[in-house]
Amino acid sequence: MSDPVGRVVPLDPERLFGALARHGVQFVLIGALAARLQGFPRATYDADITPARDSNNLQRLAAALRELEARVYTEQVPEGLAFDCGAQMLARADIWNLITNAGRLDLAFRPSGTSGYDDLATNAVHFAVYGHDLLTASLEDIIRSKEAAGRPQDRADVQILREMLKVSTEHGARSREQKRHDVRSSGTS
């Protein structure tokens, strides 16, 4: 059963990602939720995605958004404004801020500092989420985008993300060194 219009619902990632997967939408999860999957400590209350912009994918995205009863989100009307969420309408803007029956969803076809889906998919990290393969922007790409956006919250996030990346890189170097040590110790070359 869908939520009544006028009620803003909390983010339900299972419902949201399930609908996108059922319709075969190609996208990369970006922003704080993507970073959170990789250990970022800040909570977020929406999902940000970068969908592929080809016409077939826009048709699939439009179908998923209709299933999710998407409406345009504004601070003045948080329950959302009705709009024609067809593929042609979606193609008209680079950014859509939406409210759905699964919570807030922002579409960014060309996030700051990137050239869009193909750019982000190249280095994306795969996660199994609610039984679906989810492409998630790499920490490096999240940093690149947040630096380009330059908003105060983004600048604060970048400091934490850089530290996460540094720790991850150091851990990876130690793991590789330990594997080399294990190979040498066992007499295997």
Tokens representing residue 111 in the block: 């996030």
* Percent of all residues in the chain with a pLDDT value above 70, rounded to a whole number: 86
Positive or negative, the Cα torsion across 3, 5, 10, 16?
positive
Say whether pLDDT at 184 is over 50. no
Higher pLDDT, 116 or 175: 116
**Closest by Cα among 36, 43, 46 to 105:** 46
pLDDT average, residue stretch 51-57: 98
Quickly state the pLDDT bin for 181 (edges 50, 70, 90).
very low
Contact 175, 57 (CB under 8 A): no
Cβ neighbourhood burial of 53 (10 Å; 0-12, 13-18, 19+): middle
Q: What is the pLDDT of residue 132?
A: 94
**How confident is the model over 79-121, as pLDDT tens digits?**
999 999 999 999 999 999 999 999 999 999 999 999 999 999 9
**How confident is the model over 112-157, as pLDDT tens digits?**
999 999 999 999 999 999 999 999 999 999 999 999 999 999 999 9
**How confident is the model over 157-167, as pLDDT tens digits?**
999 999 999 98
Tokens representing residue 117 in the block: 């889906």
Q: What is the pLDDT of residue 123?
A: 97
Domains detected in the chain: 13-138 (3.30.460.40)
